[in-house]
Amino acid sequence: MSGVEKWLTMSLLCLSGSVIFWLPLFSDIFYIPMQNAFGFTKTQMGLLLSTFGAVSLIAYFPGGWLADRFSPRKLITTALVITALAGFVFSTLPSFEICLILFGIWGITSAGILWSAMIKATRCWGSSEDQGKTYGILEGGRNISEVISTTVLLTIFAYSGGDDKAVSENIIWISSYTLVLAFLVWRVMKVGISNHEKQPKVTITEIKYILKLPIIWLIALIIMATNTAMWGTIFFTPYATEVFELGEVGGGAIGVGKYWVTPFAAIAAGFFADKIGPAKAILGFCIIMTSGFLMFGLVPGSQALLPFLIINVAALTAAVYALRGTYFSLLEQGSVPLAVTGTATGIISVIAYTPDIFMPTLGGVILDAYPGASGYQYLFLFVSFFSLIGVSAAYFIYQKIQRMKN
């Protein structure tokens, strides 16, 4: 595979890993317009996301099994095509019941078909010596895609009139783009990756072997801690607005600034991890993540501490997305066989992404029960507890790899 083909493949992995979530997470950008266009209540909007999250969690494990039986090219293309077709149905602004089915389908296509295939394809893309850089580029590329797409989608929405028709047109645009991307994946990704179809098929024996590997469970704990922390970062904007009294514009600026940190943190972390070793780097990132949330949990917020807010938000965001860009590199450093990468990813993901189910609700419950600064402090202390679990898991992996070297 030539250099151009190799980077085209990585670009398609980044774009696919980003666009697959645009439709199920459409409300992240267009919550009120979507609610008005479909005529849904806030409860119904929440149920759609809960359906997507629940189906995704169930789909991760069989998705890992599929990734070890079929080529990434076939799986990613299939996921994008089905996602796009469901998107065209979604653009007709159907009933709530139909939308529940569509969000369930998107849970299957994203977690059950694409996710593990993308992780395995990324591992195949890089050499065993640069897995940190490889996954850092993937995460950074996905984040760059999200930043650009958000800007483009908002521009299209504004120029389309910002009404119900504009919502439908935006969904059609996303679906069409997803379909074109599927065609490109089918044409390009077969080069250099499809040979993994020739690997031995994973059996029950291999699955039992994976389940007995301590590093699988430790990686799952690190990702679960990171995912909990990622949900914690979502509350930075209201925290800055309400506790530091920055107002909606100032709080929004904190949120926007956070998004611009993410791609650079992920890519830089990948290169750094390859230089000092992924296990050592990930342990350091986990310590920074834990310390940052612990400081937010213990230090009362005030306008006088605005520099502290900005520095800590930047450090925390960088640490969280540095972890997102490097933690799957532990599969290589931990000597998990390439042939079972998909199944291993599926098993890890079932545990690792459980915060997607409880964190949004739990965060709201804590903030409702303890209004004001104290609520945010309790929330951040809770996140720091989970982050500490990540530190412990990262330390055990680091010690294990040091023993393997010796």
What was the pLDDT predicted at 98? 97
Let me know if 92 is exposed, middle or buried by CB neighbors in 10 A (0-12, 13-18, 19+): exposed
pLDDT over threshold 70, residue 301: yes
CATH classification for the domain delimited by 201-406, as one of 1.10.3720.10, 1.20.1250.20, 3.40.50.300, 3.40.109.10: 1.20.1250.20
What was the pLDDT predicted at 94? 96
What was the pLDDT predicted at 197? 45
Q: Dihedral sign for Cα 51, 34, 355, 371, please.
A: negative
CA dihedral of 338, 339, 340, 341, whole degrees rounded to 10: 40
pLDDT tens digit string along 359-370? 877 888 888 888
Cβ neighbours of residue 219 under 8 Å, at least 6 residues apart?
327, 328, 330, 331, 334, 348, 352, 393, 397
C-alpha span between 329 and 47 (Å, rounded): 34
What was the pLDDT predicted at 68? 87
Q: Nearest-CA neighbor of 350 among 4, 40, 54?
A: 54
**C-beta of residue 32 within 8 angstroms of C-beta of residue 214:** no
pLDDT tens digit string along 316-350? 999 999 999 999 999 988 888 888 888 899 999 99
In degrees and rounded to multiples of 5, residue 193 shows phi and psi of -120, -30
**C-beta of residue 96 within 8 angstroms of C-beta of residue 40:** yes
Architecture of the domain delimited by 1-199: Up-down Bundle (1.20)
pLDDT over threshold 60, residue 215: yes
pLDDT tens digit string along 21-49? 999 988 877 877 888 999 988 788 878 88
pLDDT grade, residue 195 (50/70/90)?
very low
pLDDT tens digit string along 236-257? 888 888 888 887 667 767 777 8
Mean pLDDT is lowest, of 125-139, 147-161, 185-199, 287-301, for 185-199
pLDDT tens digit string along 138-166? 989 998 988 888 778 878 887 888 788 88
**C-beta of residue 44 within 8 angstroms of C-beta of residue 97:** no
pLDDT over threshold 60, residue 199: no
Mean pLDDT is lowest, of 22-31, 221-230, 347-356, for 22-31
CB-CB neighbours of 276 under 10 Å:
11
Q: What percent of the chain has pLDDT over 90?
A: 52
**C-beta of residue 191 within 8 angstroms of C-beta of residue 1:** yes
pTM: 0.83
Whole-Å CA distances, 223 to 244, 282, 343: 30, 11, 16
Positions of CATH 1.20.1250.20 in the chain: 1-199, 201-406
